[in-house]
């Protein structure tokens, strides 16, 4: 008997960890850019981070394919003739992890044999081939061509979207963040990072552009964006000049039409209702408002404009 058979969730979770780590590694280096250190120079120095990230993407892709195969049977992953399996009554048991498993072309073909090919974006094959070839060059010590950070970010996004669907990349990134043990101990640094979580989307938008980013979300990110009341209040800072709030807009009408009265925020993934009223600020043409409810306000109702934050 072959024991310790893996399940689909184990492969899936491991794959998502690989892809998330690849993303976090690239973002971490980009956050080190200063006024005196250019991005180009920084990435020349940190090419190993991009190479490692590419290897992680390859592991992530293979893990997600294995996850799908496991839903049919993990035994399909074994790279061993059935006649050599030690499964007859007189044979000793074998552990799955001690056996060789398929990879490369065999893994790819087995993957497509186990799924409806229409579920996977047709461009996935191009992504897989690009990752496979470049990963092999790196592993075999011949990958001397420089790698661009933006290309790695796109590969990560495409892998998530093609294999797990739209919104999956942000869901994985935010889920990893909210599972940090600091939330259990009220770590102030982690709470501060939560209040500026929107910066992670601003980062992707800055380097890849909204049109590229829009391919990976179910909401239309190219439509008019609004302030999320929850993210905006969370990120408020009291300074000597008064209260400062971010101008980061990642909330969208859902559905996006002139009469819509519901919104969704990409960052905090919250759905909430709004009213369609013109803003009282003469310089603002906004007509989407949200009712602020706070104990400090008492019974007063304050409708806030989600375009300019005017009361």
- The pLDDT tens digits for 19-31 are 999 999 999 999 9
- Render pLDDT for 128-151 as a digit per residue (tens, 0 to 9): 999 999 999 999 887 678 999 999
CA distance 39 to 150: 11
- Which residue ranges make up each domain of the chain? 1-165
Looking at the chain, the whole-number percentage of residues with pLDDT higher than 90 is 73
Q: pTM for the whole thing?
A: 0.91
pLDDT score, position 192: 79
Average pLDDT across the chain, whole number:
92
Looking at the chain, the whole-number percentage of residues with pLDDT higher than 70 is 96
pLDDT score, position 240: 62
- Render pLDDT for 155-198 as a digit per residue (tens, 0 to 9): 999 999 999 999 999 999 999 888 888 877 878 888 778 888 99
Per-residue burial over 18-47, b if 16 or more Cβ lie within 10 Å, else e, is: bbbbbbebbbebbeeeeeeeeeeebbeebe
Q: Could you write out the DSSP letters of every residue in the chain?
A: -EES---HHHHHHHHHHHHHHHHHHHHHHHTT-BTTB-HHHHHHHTHHHHHHHHHHHHHHHHHHHHHHHHHH-GGGGB-S-GGG---STTSPPEEGGGS-B--HHHHHHHHHHSS-GGGS-TTHHHHHHHHHHHHHHHHTT---S---HHHHHHHHHHHHHHHH-TTHHHHHHHHHHHT-GGGTTT-HHHHHHHHTTHHHHHHHHHHH-HHHHHTT-SS-TTS--B--HHHHHHT-EEETTEEE------EEESS-STT--EEEETTT--EEE-B----S-TT-----EEEE--GGGTT--EEEETTT---
pLDDT score, position 147: 96
**Mean pLDDT (whole number) for 242-246:** 75
The most distant pair of C-alpha atoms in the chain lies apart, rounded to whole Å, by 86
In contact, 204 and 213? CB cutoff 8 Å = yes
């Amino acid at each position: 008997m072959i024991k310790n058979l893996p399940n689909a969730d184990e492969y899936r979770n491991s794959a998502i960890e690989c892809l998330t780590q690849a993303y976090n590694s690239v973002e971490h280096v980009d956050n080190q850019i200063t006024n005196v250190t250019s991005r180009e120079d920084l990435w020349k120095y940190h090419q190993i981070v991009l190479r490692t990230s590419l290897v992680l993407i390859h592991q992530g892709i293979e893990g997600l394919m294995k996850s799908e195969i496991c839903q049919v049977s993990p035994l399909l992953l074994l790279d061993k003739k059935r006649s050599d399996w030690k499964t007859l009554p007189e044979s000793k048991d074998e552990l799955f992890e001690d056996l060789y498993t398929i990879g490369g072309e065999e893994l790819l073909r087995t993957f497509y044999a186990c799924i409806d090919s229409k579920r996977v974006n047709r461009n996935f094959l191009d992504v897989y081939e690009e990752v496979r070839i470049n990963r092999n060059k790196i592993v075999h010590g011949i990958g001397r061509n420089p790698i661009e950070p933006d290309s790695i970010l796109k590969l990560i996004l495409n892998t998530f979207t093609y294999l797990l669907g739209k919104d999956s990349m942000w869901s994985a990134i935010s889920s990893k963040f909210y599972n940090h043990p600091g939330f259990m101990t009220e770590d102030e640094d982690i709470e501060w990072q939560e209040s500026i979580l929107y910066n992670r989307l601003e980062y992707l938008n800055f380097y890849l552009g909204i049109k590229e980013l829009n391919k990976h979300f179910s909401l239309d990110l190219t439509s008019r964006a609004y302030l999320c009341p929850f993210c905006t209040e969370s990120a408020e800072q009291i300074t000597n000049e008064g209260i400062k709030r971010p101008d980061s807009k990642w909330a969208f009408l859902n559905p996006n039409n002139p009469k819509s009265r519901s919104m969704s925020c990409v960052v905090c993934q919250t759905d909430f209702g709004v009213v369609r009223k013109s803003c009282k600020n003469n310089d603002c043409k906004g007509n989407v408002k949200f009712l602020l409810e706070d104990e400090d306000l008492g019974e007063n109702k304050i409708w806030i404009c989600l375009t300019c934050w005017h009361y």
